[in-house]
């Protein structure tokens, strides 16, 4: 099935409606489409062909928005790179995705020079006179639009292939759940290289909705922006919500939805939200589901404390123990189904096949549904650490620590942190004393800063089961911590 190019269709339907606001600049959908067409004419001069994959490494900026749409206009797939990662981490993703070129900012350009062709907006060639013939004015909903990397339990990042259909149905399901108003304005301060930020960008052109884009989260700038632009919707993680609550006495009158991802909020935060009138919609989703697939409405936020809610319209959810469906309140693996669920993992057929069971995505998360069908997530992808909205996989950190010649065993788990929710802590078995600054230097060379362990515990052994599998959950136990140095 095909659809008209979303931006071109939107510019035709509502040309004078405001599409994008960034600081003191504004673009209507017509103006945005014209700038995108001009940019795509320059991008068409780069030796690329329809179906190629281009990498995008940028901060939140209107130019990033325009490059996303310009790539789609030329039939190019986009792999979105996390700018918090190290060069080594990004290099792996560039090679695995088989990116033909890197589109980036000057601040990142020199880092990857020589690895593959690198272009900034300043260095893109002059416009291609044949550009009009290369424009792709329709989207095949089955085709891959974007690729985002997410780590798996093995620690090796996997590219999630998200199709145009995935993004479209995610936007439609969200609208059926949250509603859609003519005056809606969505504030994005989460990174566009994350699905929470990018999905709101696509909602903009599909809904005909204004996006207020921020380079990064700043609570004072967010409050000013809400008041100035009459923001109605915001995507947040717990740390953002907590800081907004701490600096605000009551909810701004324009806000009708704070879509909360990255794990459920604790009771005190929900109680304060309710007291101050903040309409918090808790949600459950992942890169593989193109953002939320389960959402809890505000009226249930206290009554169903800790619940992620019910599936979006058109989506399905079930809990399964092995091959057996679970009864209400019985713990099992969370499986989901819907048109917003990913195509698969790039170049990883075995991993893709293992992740699906008769059309159902096996999330690897453990949870249960109550007798009214509300989902409660008990363990986010087993040992996943969620720190300030960022997903951190212990196996990835452990793999780096084990490259040290004197580290014989490594175990990483999340520990509570007042500011970030959770932070990584490492437990090491070594054959001699290792200075912690040496371990931090090793992490610095291979891992983004938010993945560095905040503390290193040196122990005689790690907790393992009868099959010698590391039991990360036991690392958090007080008894085990008391035995560490």
Radius of gyration of the chain (CA): 23
> What distance in Å separates the CA atoms of residue 250 and residue 276, rounded to the nearest whole number?
5
Indicate the residue among 331, 357, 375 that finishes a domain: 375
Q: CB under 8 Å to 468, separation ≥6 — which residues?
A: none
DSSP assignment letter at 447: S
Question: Do residues 445 and 349 both lie within one domain?
Answer: no
Q: What is the pLDDT of residues 142-158, one digit of tens each?
A: 999 999 998 544 457 89
Regarding predicted confidence, which is higher, 301 or 336? 336
pLDDT at 195 over 70: yes
Span of 33-37, 142-146, 295-299 with lowest mean pLDDT: 295-299
Phi first, then psi: give them for residue 371, nearest 5 degrees.
-75, -5
Q: What is the pLDDT of residues 90-136, one digit of tens each?
A: 999 999 999 999 999 999 998 888 889 999 999 999 887 776 677 88
Band of residue 71 on the pLDDT scale cut at 50, 70, 90 = very high
Other beta carbons within 10 angstroms of residue 142's beta carbon come to: 12
Q: What are the structure tokens assigned to 302, written together?
A: 């206290």
Q: CB under 8 Å to 298, separation ≥6 — which residues?
A: 274, 279, 280, 281
pLDDT at 382 over 90: no
CA-closest candidate to residue 248, choices 272, 268, 216: 272
pLDDT at 224 over 60: yes
Regarding predicted confidence, which is higher, 408 or 310? 310
Which pLDDT belongs to residue 484? 58
> What distance in Å separates the CA atoms of residue 319 and residue 450, rounded to the nearest whole number?
32
Indicate the residue among 375, 405, 432 that finishes a domain: 375
Count Cα neighbours of 470 within 13 Å in the Cβ-side half-sphere.
Answer: 21
pLDDT at 284 over 80: yes
Say if 7 falls within a structural domain.
yes
Question: Do residues 259 and 402 both lie within one domain?
Answer: no
Q: What angle do CA 367, 335, 170 make, to 5 degrees?
A: 110
The CATH number of whichever domain residue 401 belongs to comes to: 3.30.300.30
Say if 336 falls within a structural domain.
yes
Which pLDDT belongs to residue 399? 81
DSSP assignment letter at 452: S
Question: Do residues 456 and 319 both lie within one domain?
Answer: no
For tokens 């659809």, what's the residue? 3
> What distance in Å separates the CA atoms of residue 144 and residue 344, rounded to the nearest whole number?
10
> Domain total for the chain?
2
Question: Do residues 370 and 440 both lie within one domain?
Answer: no
Question: Do residues 234 and 309 both lie within one domain?
Answer: yes
Question: Do residues 84 and 148 both lie within one domain?
Answer: yes
Band of residue 265 on the pLDDT scale cut at 50, 70, 90 = confident
Q: What are the structure tokens assigned to 83, written together?
A: 């700018």
CA-closest candidate to residue 74, choices 99, 101, 51, 105: 51
pLDDT at 482 over 70: no
Average pLDDT over residues 388-407: 86
Band of residue 21 on the pLDDT scale cut at 50, 70, 90 = very high
pLDDT at 202 over 70: yes
Say if 349 falls within a structural domain.
yes
Question: Do residues 322 and 433 both lie within one domain?
Answer: no
Count Cα neighbours of 243 within 13 Å in the Cβ-side half-sphere.
Answer: 17
Say if 174 falls within a structural domain.
yes
Cβ atoms 221, 195 nearer than 8 A? no
Cβ atoms 422, 447 nearer than 8 A? no
Which pLDDT belongs to residue 458? 94
Question: Do residues 291 and 424 both lie within one domain?
Answer: no
Which pLDDT belongs to residue 131? 67
Say if 380 falls within a structural domain.
no
Say if 209 falls within a structural domain.
yes
Q: What angle do CA 372, 381, 236 make, to 5 degrees?
A: 75
Indicate the residue among 375, 397, 431 that finishes a domain: 375
Q: What are the structure tokens assigned to 132, written together?
A: 């009009």
Question: Do residues 216 and 97 both lie within one domain?
Answer: yes
Which pLDDT belongs to residue 155? 57
Which pLDDT belongs to residue 378? 77
Question: Do residues 284 and 392 both lie within one domain?
Answer: no
Span of 23-32, 336-345, 418-427, 467-476 with lowest mean pLDDT: 467-476
Mean pLDDT score of the chain: 91
Say if 109 falls within a structural domain.
yes
Q: What is the pLDDT of residues 322-367, one digit of tens each?
A: 889 999 999 889 999 999 999 999 999 999 999 999 999 999 888 8
By residue range, what is the domain housing residue 425? 385-483
Other beta carbons within 10 angstroms of residue 222's beta carbon come to: 22
pLDDT at 450 over 80: yes
Which pLDDT belongs to residue 132? 66
Question: Do residues 361 and 436 both lie within one domain?
Answer: no
Q: Is 175 exposed, middle or buried (0-12, 13-18, 19+ CB in 10 A)?
A: middle
pTM over 0.85: no
Which pLDDT belongs to residue 182? 92
pLDDT at 1 over 80: yes
Q: CB under 8 Å to 456, separation ≥6 — which residues?
A: 425, 426, 427, 428, 436, 439
Band of residue 466 on the pLDDT scale cut at 50, 70, 90 = very low
Which pLDDT belongs to residue 380? 59
Average pLDDT over residues 414-426: 91
Question: Do residues 369 and 396 both lie within one domain?
Answer: no
The CATH number of whichever domain residue 351 belongs to comes to: 3.40.50.12780
Which residue stretches of 218-263 are H helix?
Answer: 219-229, 238-246
Which pLDDT belongs to residue 467? 44
Q: CB under 8 Å to 232, separation ≥6 — which residues?
A: 181, 183, 184, 185, 186, 254, 255, 256, 257
Helix (H, G, I), strand (E, B) or coil at 115: coil
Regarding predicted confidence, which is higher, 85 or 78? 78
Average pLDDT over residues 215-242: 94
Say if 355 falls within a structural domain.
yes
Q: How far is CA 339 from the centre of its chain?
A: 18
Q: What are the structure tokens assigned to 388, written together?
A: 């300030």
């Amino acid at each position: 099935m095909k659809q008209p190019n979303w931006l071109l269709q939107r510019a035709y339907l509502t040309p004078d409606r405001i599409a994008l606001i960034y600081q003191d600049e504004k673009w209507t959908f017509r103006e945005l489409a014209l700038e995108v067409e001009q940019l795509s004419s320059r991008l068409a001069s780069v030796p690329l062909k329809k179906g190629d994959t281009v990498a995008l490494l940028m901060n939140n900026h209107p130019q990033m928005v325009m490059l996303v749409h310009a790539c789609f206009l030329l039939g190019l797939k986009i792999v979105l790179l996390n700018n918090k990662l190290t060069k080594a981490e990004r290099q792996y993703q560039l090679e695995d995705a088989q990116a033909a070129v890197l589109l980036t900012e000057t601040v990142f350009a020199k880092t990857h020079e020589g690895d593959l062709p690198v272009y900034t907006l300043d260095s893109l060639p002059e416009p291609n006179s044949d550009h009009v013939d290369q424009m792709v004015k329709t989207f095949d909903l089955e085709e891959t639009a974007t690729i985002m990397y997410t780590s798996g339990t093995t620690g090796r990042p996997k590219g999630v292939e998200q199709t145009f259909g995935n993004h479209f149905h995610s936007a439609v399901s969200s609208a059926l759940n949250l509603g859609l108003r003519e005056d809606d304005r969505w504030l994005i301060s989460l990174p566009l290289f994350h699905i929470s930020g990018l999905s709101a960008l696509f909602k903009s052109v599909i809904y005909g909705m204004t996006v207020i884009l921020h380079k990064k989260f700043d609570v004072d700038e967010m409050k000013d922006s809400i008041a100035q632009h009459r923001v109605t919707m915001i995507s947040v993680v717990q740390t953002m919500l907590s800081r907004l609550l701490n600096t605000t006495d009551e909810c701004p009158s324009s806000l009708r939805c704070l879509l909360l991802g990255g794990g459920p909020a604790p009771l005190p935060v929900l109680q304060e939200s309710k007291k101050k009138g903040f309409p918090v919609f808790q949600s459950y989703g992942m890169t593989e589901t193109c953002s939320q697939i389960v959402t809890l409405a505000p009226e249930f936020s206290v009554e169903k404390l800790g619940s992620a809610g019910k599936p979006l319209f058109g989506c399905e959810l079930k809990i399964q123990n092995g091959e057996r469906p679970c009864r209400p309140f019985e713990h099992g693996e969370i499986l989901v189904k819907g048109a917003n669920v990913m195509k698969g993992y790039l170049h990883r057929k075995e991993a893709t096949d293992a992740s699906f069971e008769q059309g159902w995505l096996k999330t690897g998360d453990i949870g249960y549904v109550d007798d009214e069908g509300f989902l409660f997530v008990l363990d986010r992808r087993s040992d996943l650490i969620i720190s300030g909205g960022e997903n951190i996989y212990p196996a990835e950190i452990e793999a780096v620590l084990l490259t040290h010649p004197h580290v014989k065993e490594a175990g990483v788990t999340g520990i509570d942190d007042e500011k970030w929710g959770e932070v990584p802590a490492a437990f090491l078995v070594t054959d001699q004393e290792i200075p912690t600054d040496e371990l931090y230097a090793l992490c610095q060379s291979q891992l983004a800063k938010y993945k560095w362990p905040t503390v290193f515990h040196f122990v005689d052994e790690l907790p393992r089961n009868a099959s010698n599998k590391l039991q990360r959950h036991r690392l958090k136990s007080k008894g085990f911590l008391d035995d560490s140095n």
